[in-house]
Amino acid sequence: MKISMTDKQPLYVQVRNDMRNKIESGEWKEGELIPSEKELTNQYGVSRVTLRTAIKALVQEQYLVRRAGYGTTVYKNKSSLSNFTMIRSFTNEMNEMGLPSKTMEAELKLIDADATLASIFNIKEGDKLYNLKRVRGTVIPILFSDSYILPVVKIPDDQNVLKGSLYEYLASQKVYFNVFEEYISAVEAPKQIKSLLQIYDDTPQLKRKRFSYNESNRLIEYTETYYNSKHYEYRTRLYYRKK
């Protein structure tokens, strides 16, 4: 596949998307080496700088693994977020569209679970949970997320961590997810959230509830996210992966 020079997406995004499609469709199999840089630059008709930028993005998204002196292989961990073709981070979604993304605000607290959260996590009322609130967007705010995480590992109150990928940080601490459940509805956002997302009318907004379970089927994270429907469209991609 030669890359289109007239496409609005940056060249590295086009390369990254095609390489990811090869992984998700099973053309590039888990644990196997991908073609060499020389082969890929010839195949795509791009520079090595562009190719390396695409590979770096796929490494960050846990599709590829780089090993010094060995090469780049397809990520093998079955519990990785990247093995769920319906579950993507906001950063990945924006990257697909060639748009910049950033976390504008992030606040982390250690809280006591109320009756509702205790029921959701099947823990005792008063047990500790991390609560991470974030406003994310491009040049404008697009979503507000309110996440609750079991304190199975310490999450540092560090803006570099809080404004980055939560799943990537948890994976670095050996916390992997095996099952995700999502519920999506159209609702009127609460006044405070409308203010954060610069919503000035009563248009219904997209609300998503996500339950994230580890390999032992234990709920680790519960998140409620509100999206500004004027600037966001929820998209999914499904693949059948032969084993």
- The residue type found at 163 is K
For the cut 70, the answer to whether the pLDDT of residue 89 exceeds it is no
Listed by start position, the domains of the chain span 11-76, 90-227
Question: What single string gives the DSSP state of each residue in 135-186?
Answer: EEESSSEEEEEEEEE--SS-----HHHHTS-HHHHHHHTT----EEEEEEEE
Using pLDDT thresholds of 50, 70 and 90, give the confidence band for residue 99: low
pLDDT computed for residue 93 by the predictor: 61
- The residue type found at 25 is S
Answer for the pair 178, 213: CB distance below 8 angstroms, yes or no: yes
pLDDT 10s digits, 73-88: 987 654 444 444 344 5
- What number is the average pLDDT over the span 140-156? 95
Select from 118, 123, 114, 148 the least CA-distant residue to 220: 148
Helix and strand numbers (H, E) in the chain are: 8, 8
d(CA 54, CA 37): 11
Select from 86, 18, 99, 5 the least CA-distant residue to 51: 18
- Mean pLDDT of the residues in the chain: 84
For the cut 60, the answer to whether the pLDDT of residue 102 exceeds it is yes
pLDDT 10s digits, 129-139: 999 999 998 88
pLDDT 10s digits, 11-32: 888 898 899 888 888 889 888 8
Q: Which of 56-60, 100-104, 155-159, 227-231 has the lowest mean pLDDT?
A: 100-104
CATH architecture of 90-227: 3-Layer(aba) Sandwich (3.40)
Phi and psi angles of residue 128, each rounded to the nearest 5 degrees, phi first? -80, 145
Lookup: tokens for 235: 């998209």
Using pLDDT thresholds of 50, 70 and 90, give the confidence band for residue 106: very high
Answer for the pair 10, 93: CB distance below 8 angstroms, yes or no: no
Select from 46, 16, 49 the least CA-distant residue to 34: 16
Using pLDDT thresholds of 50, 70 and 90, give the confidence band for residue 172: confident
Phi-psi sector, 218: left (phi>0), alpha (psi -120 to 50), beta: beta
d(CA 65, CA 24): 15
pTM metric for this prediction: 0.64
CATH number among 3.40.50.300, 3.40.1830.10, 1.20.1440.230, 1.10.10.10, domain 11-76: 1.10.10.10
pLDDT computed for residue 71 by the predictor: 85
pLDDT computed for residue 115 by the predictor: 96
